[in-house]
Structures are given as C-alpha cells and as structure tokens.
Amino acid sequence: MDFTYTETQDMVRDTLARFLADTYDFDTRQKFIDSETGRDPAIWTALAQELGMLGAAFGEEHGGLGGGALENAIVMEEMGKVIAIEPYVPTVVIAGGALKTVGGAQADAMIPEIIMGNAIIAFAYAEPQGRYDLANLRTTAKKDGSGYVLSGHKSVVYAAPWATHLLVTARTGGGQREAEGVSLFLIDANLPGIVRRDYPTVDGNRASEIYFENVAIPGDALLGGEGAGLALVEQIVDEATVATCAEATGVMQKLHEGTLEYTQQRKQFGVPIAKFQVLQHRMVDMFMEVEQARSMTIMGTLKLDLPADERKAAVSACKAKVSRGAKFVGQNAIQTHGGIGITQELAIGHYFKRATMIEGQFGSADYHMDRFERLTLAD
C-alpha cells in the first residue's frame, strides 16, 4: 500500500499551484467572470501550451504525460482551491476520457487538439425531465443516409458558450428510460440548427440551454457503438464525478482555512471568536469533513478501473459523502463568518456558492446513496 504521489504528479501539482497563484487571485477571477465572455482565454492556452497541463492525463502517444485519473484529481483539487472556472472536467476528463476509451482515428484526431488547448468540449447530457438519470433521454439522433439528424433540448450545459465541440447523448433507439439505444456523439458546436441560450451560473461559470433543431451530423461523430453508449457514458460521468469531488476537496479546504483565519482575527466580547469552544468544535467538525472528502476522493479515484458495478458503488460512496461534507463545510463557513460571509465582497461566499453547486453536480447525495444501496445492499 502506498498513498504517495510520484515525482511527476508532485510536479504537476506544484507547477499548477504556482501558475494559479500568479494568475487566479480572487480579484482577477471576479474581473473576468464579470466580463462579456466570462473568462480569460489566455489562461486555458497557457495551461495547455506553457504548462502542458491539459496533457497530464493523456498517453504519450498523443503528446501527453502518460497519466490518468490521479492527474485529473490533482488538477481539479488545485482548480478548486482558486474556484477556477476552466472547462477541464468536460473537456479533458469527460470528452478526453471518452476518446481514450474509444481510441482509434477519433482519438488520434481530437486528443492532440485538447492537449494543445485548441478544443473546448462541453458535455450536453442533462435534460429537463431527466434529473440525474443518464439514460432518461428525449433527445434523438435519427439515421439519415450516412449521418444522423439530432433533435432535442439539453439543460444547463456548463462551458457551452465557450465550446468548440459538444459531446452529446441522444437516443438512436429504445424508450425514454431504457439502457439500450443510448448513443454518444462528438460534434462541432456551431452546426446549423444548434440554438443556444447562454447565461451565467450562480457559481460564476457560463452555461447554455441547447436546442437541437434537426441538426445534421456526420456518421463519424458517433463515439463507440450505436445504441450501446450507456456504459461509456456512465464510465465518463463516474470519472467526472470523482474529479469534481477532488475539486470539492480544494474548495472545502479553502472554506475551512478561511474560517480558521477569520475567527482568529475577528474579536467580539474582547477575544478572538476562535476562543469560543462552540466555534472550535464546529471548526474541528469542518476539518474532519475536509479530511474525509480527501480520503473518499482518493478511494474513488483508485477504484475507477474496477468492474462497472464496483466502480459505481465506490464513486457513489465518494460523491454522497463529499456532497454532504461540502454542504456542512460551506454552511458552517458562512455561519461562522456571520454577516460578512453573505456578501459578494469576500471570497468565502463564492467558495460557498461553488460548494453548493457541486452538491448536486453529477448527482445529489440522495441519488448516490440510492445507487450505492442498490449496488451493495441487494435483498
């Protein structure tokens, strides 16, 4: 047993941490979030081309560093510490993960584009009626000559306003909630018939409603087998879930550290409020949640390669624990700060907002507890 990181992994973390310390201080982040496009594209380019960071989790044959899920977790934990809005999860973890699994010409064509920072890929999977069920799809892709025609509505697609490509789940067959008939397509984001409504999100990102209005897509947009895509979708969403838990760990760590710092400065009744035992115990509870989130994220990451059911149970355990921890740490960070915690001025409130959105992303605690139960507690 060995929980130490390799030298390369340490280097990835240190390099990224240093870069983000220089480029992603809170005020700078707020500035580009409030700008017209909501981001600073130079950061993504620098992550790719100066740091080689977007290749950390790809194989050397595509120009990457040869890493995988652990590298994704390292990157996302550091991103969480600065509440970065960079589209690493949809582009590298989700789309990159699908391409690595599928391999072949599609991987050879797209992975280098991701690594170089030329491609930003948004993941259009959620639908208004579907909640967290990945198979609950009304979007359809109908065979048309050598290609398909895509129709439907995708909800809250993070990073879509910036995307060059969309990774889309759609039905090529089967009923609305059936496992059979789910297909995965990687398409150009600007095809005729794609209607996008862009908006900011409460956690400082940008997202879109995407309406596919009879969009003609080529046959080679299909990733994996037609109608047999659900297993692949579940796998990449599990990978994304764990990466998001890593992000949560970074967010929670900062919420906890910020609270410790504030309570030692803030004086009421003549003493720093950190002297009050009721607040000390609360901060100890927060600390324990941060440590457990880190433990569960490592557990989930290490089990991503297990057979599907074991992987799913591990990821669900991880996300259920982290969702609850994120809520606990976020709410208590705000409560302990008092009024100043609910203003836009302090970073702490923005960490809280991101923590709150992470709670539900890729499935709420209830959803994952339910999936965990079904996989591990069969009658």
Partner 1 sequence: MDMEFSPEDLAFQKEVRDFIAENYPAELRGKQDEGEELSKEDFLAWHKVLYEKGWVAPAWPVEYGGTGWTPTQRFIFSEETARADCIRLLPFGLSMVGPVIYTFGTPEQKAYFLPRILSGEDWWCQGYSEPGAGSDLASLRTTAVRDGDDYIVNGQKTWTTLAQHADWGFFLVRTDKEAKAQEGISFLLIDMKSPGITVRPIITLGGEHEVNEVWLEDVRVPVSQRVHEENKGWTCAKFLLAHERTGIAGVAASKRGVEKVKAIARTEVDGDKPLLANPFFKRKVAELEVDLTALEFTELRSLAGPNAGKGPGPESSLLKIKGSEIQQRLTELTLEAVGHYGAPYFRGFGEGDNEHPIGPDYAHRAAPTYFNVRKTTIYGGSNEIQRNIIAKMVLGL
Residues that bind partner 1 (CB under 8 A): 126, 128-129, 131-133, 136, 155-156, 158, 177, 195, 197, 199-203, 205, 207, 209, 211, 267-270, 276, 278-279, 327, 331, 334-335, 338-339, 341-345, 349, 352-353, 356-357, 360, 364, 366, 369-370
Q: Which is nearer to partner 1, 158 or 185 (CB)?
A: 158
Phi, psi torsion values for 216, nearest 5 degrees? -80, 125
| Residue 73 CB neighbours (<10 A) | 28
Q: Which is nearer to partner 1, 50 or 199 (CB)?
A: 199
Q: Least distance to partner 1 from the beta carbon of 81, Å?
A: 20
Q: Which is nearer to partner 1, 146 or 344 (CB)?
A: 344
215 by Cβ neighbours in 10 Å (0-12 / 13-18 / 19+) ranks as buried
C-alpha distances in Å from residue 201, one per residue of 51, 206, 339, 354, 356: 28, 6, 23, 10, 12
Q: Least distance to partner 1 from the beta carbon of 268, Å?
A: 4
Q: Which is nearer to partner 1, 113 or 370 (CB)?
A: 370
Q: Least distance to partner 1 from the beta carbon of 282, Å?
A: 9
Q: Least distance to partner 1 from the beta carbon of 220, Å?
A: 29
Q: Which is nearer to partner 1, 205 or 259 (CB)?
A: 205
Strands 267-268 and 271-272: antiparallel
Q: Least distance to partner 1 from the beta carbon of 175, Å?
A: 11
Cα gap 73→323, rounded to integer Å: 16
Specify the amino acid at residue 42: A
The pair of structure tokens assigned to 187 is 């398409």
**CA torsion angle for 325, 329, 335, 338 (degrees, to 10)?**
-160
Cα gap 22→318, rounded to integer Å: 31
The pair of structure tokens assigned to 265 is 């400065």
Instruction: Report the run of H or E that residue 33 belongs to, with start and end.
Output: helix 26-33
Q: Which is nearer to partner 1, 58 or 367 (CB)?
A: 367
Residue 87 near residue 206, CB atoms below 8 Å = no
Q: Which is nearer to partner 1, 128 or 225 (CB)?
A: 128
Q: Least distance to partner 1 from the beta carbon of 16, Å?
A: 26
Q: Least distance to partner 1 from the beta carbon of 233, Å?
A: 16
